[in-house]
Amino acid sequence: MHFDIGGNQYRNASNSIEIDGMGHLLFEHNRRYNDMTLRGMLFDRNGNLVARISESSLALNLQGEFDIDVEASVVRVVRRESRDILLEIKFLDKEHVQIHKAKLYTGKGHLLEITPTSWTLGHDSHSGEIKDCVGEPVRLS
């Protein structure tokens, strides 16, 4: 798969993204509906699991604080009360995913921020990189 994440390109990757050393996001093609789906986990600032995403829907939402908006080829995870976007994923095709907006905590409690031009995890920022993942997951760490 190919991923465009905050101004960085990751080519020839498996269908998953590891963040801070842990598998966070997984992308699958649903042959029955011929569309892409998202699986993933959401954590709070302490690294506690607060939500789980399965087939682009909330499978677990412990505090009831999140919603998922799905329209055409875009999946957005939003905070229910404020409508702040925590994660926005665009499926450009079944082998190409774009993430240009995110503000998530990792399983270690570190903040990952993604903008159209970069991604930042803690004090480490990346922009304009092109990486060949040679079949491995995309690793943001």
Residue 31: partners with Cβ closer than 8 Å, 6 or more residues away? none
- At residue 72, the pLDDT reads 83
For residues 35 and 28, the answer to whether their CB atoms sit within 8 Å is no
Q: Which residue has the higher pLDDT, 21 or 31?
A: 21
Amino acid at 8: N
Q: What is the pTM of this model?
A: 0.94
Mode of pairing for the β-strands spanning 8-11 and 130-132: parallel
Q: Which residue has the tokens 């993204």?
A: 17
pLDDT tops 90 at residue 53: yes
pLDDT tops 90 at residue 33: no
Amino acid at 43: F
Average pLDDT of every residue of the chain = 95
- At residue 69, the pLDDT reads 95
- At residue 34, the pLDDT reads 83
pLDDT tops 90 at residue 118: yes
- CA angle 136-137-138, nearest 5°? 120
For the four alpha carbons of 4, 9, 11 and 13, in that order, the dihedral sign comes to negative
